[in-house]
A = this chain, B = another copy of it.
Amino acid sequence: MGKKGEGNRQRILDAAENLFYKRGYNQTSFQNISDATDIPRGNFYYYFKTKEDILNAVIDARVVSLSAMLSNYDAEVPDPRERLLMFTNVLERDSDDIMLSGCPLGTLSIELAKGDTALHDKSKQAFIVLCKWMEEQFDLMGLSNADELAIDLVSRLQGINVMANVFNDAGYLKRSHIEIKKWINEQD
């Protein structure tokens, strides 16, 4: 048999991650998560003390999965510039979701910035991981202002995601990704 409970915990986490993204954290109810998992509301409290606990666990899971993805690039792709280009390509793959719901990291952090400070701070973690990784890549490319380039790249990507979300414009998204990749190739 084994740990069936951990399976339930993971299912709650997966459903919450998706719903927090598609509906927003505050607009996602336990009922929504229950409907998506067929796990009754009351059962959630066996795995998580509060709704905030679920959010913290979701962010932890995101940090882990993002870190794993980036480590994978480090292992599979020798050239740091190629790694950055590959990251941009992944965003292209998710462009439908981004047009509908924006950037998973950005929209969550923006939502939480308007509420509790502790949750907003927590949401920064994924951004910090991403920025640090990009800084490493620019550093490996021998660029002196790697920290500024990293935040500039994330900033550009966030801007693109916001506009894609506001206007639901696929053409703009496609064009911008080309521009971003051009920009990455120009840095030296």
Q: Which of A96-154 contact B (CB under 8 A)?
A: 100-102, 106-107, 109-111, 113-115, 123-124, 127, 148, 151-152, 154
Question: By the criterion CB–CB under 8 Å, are B24 and A115 in contact?
Answer: yes
List, in ascending order, chain B residues with CB within 8 A of A50's CB.
none
Interface: A95 (CB within 8 A): no
Copies of the chain in the assembly: 2
* Most B C-beta atoms less than 10 A away, residue of A100, A163, A176: A163
A160: Cβ under 8 A from any B Cβ: yes
CA distance A160 to B151 in the complex (A): 9
Report A138-179 CB contacts with B as 1/0, cut-off 8 Å: 000000000010011011111110110111000010011001
Across the interface, A166 reaches (CB within 8 A) one of B23, B109, B114, B176, namely B109
How big is chain A's contact interface, by range? 35 or more
Q: By the criterion CB–CB under 8 Å, are B113 and A166 in contact? A: yes
Q: Is the CB of B151 within 8 A of A110?
A: no
| Residues in B neighbouring A100, C-beta threshold 8 A | 113
- Could you name 25 residue pairs across A and B whose Cβ atoms are closer than 8 Å? A23-B115, A24-B26, A24-B111, A24-B114, A27-B114, A27-B115, A101-B113, A101-B114, A102-B113, A106-B110, A106-B166, A107-B114, A124-B166, A124-B167, A127-B166, A152-B176, A152-B179, A154-B159, A155-B159, A155-B162, A155-B163, A157-B159, A159-B160, A159-B162, A162-B162
